[in-house]
């Protein structure tokens, strides 16, 4: 068994891991200068919209599954596609989405 992998799983990722892995999703700001624990919603919303499955797994490991799902359920979604996907994930987890799609009026004709 790979001890590095085992050790990492026991302790979870730290802020440096988040900065390294997620930095490319924050093209408009240097996230190494931002206190991510003070802005978890912003971090999660950006990853939900632009990240991949590995980015989501990193956040789950960082926040814990319950806290991550709480953040997802209260997130604002900038695209209908993202909102529909995460609403279905939340349903499977027995949770509801507490926020609505932020650009809902743009889709109504």
Parse the chain into domains and list their residue ranges.
Answer: 11-107
Pick the more confident residue, 87 or 98.
Answer: 87
Q: What is the pLDDT of residues 41-78, one digit of tens each?
A: 988 999 999 999 999 999 999 999 999 999 998 888 88
Q: Number of H helices and number of E strands within the chain?
A: 7, 0
Residues listed for the chain: 109
| pLDDT value of residue 11 | 63
Residue 109 predicted with pLDDT over 90: no
């Amino acid at each position: 068994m790979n001890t590095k992998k085992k050790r990492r799983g026991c302790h979870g990722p730290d802020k440096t891991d988040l900065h390294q892995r997620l930095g490319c999703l924050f093209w408009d700001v240097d996230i190494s200068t931002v206190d991510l624990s003070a802005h978890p919603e912003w971090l999660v919303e950006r990853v939900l919209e632009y990240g991949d499955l590995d980015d989501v797994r990193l956040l789950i490991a960082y926040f814990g599954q319950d806290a991550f799902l709480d953040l997802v359920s209260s997130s604002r979604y900038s695209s209908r596609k993202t909102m529909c996907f995460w609403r279905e994930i939340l349903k499977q987890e027995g949770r509801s989405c507490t926020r609505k799609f932020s650009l809902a009026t743009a889709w109504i004709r």
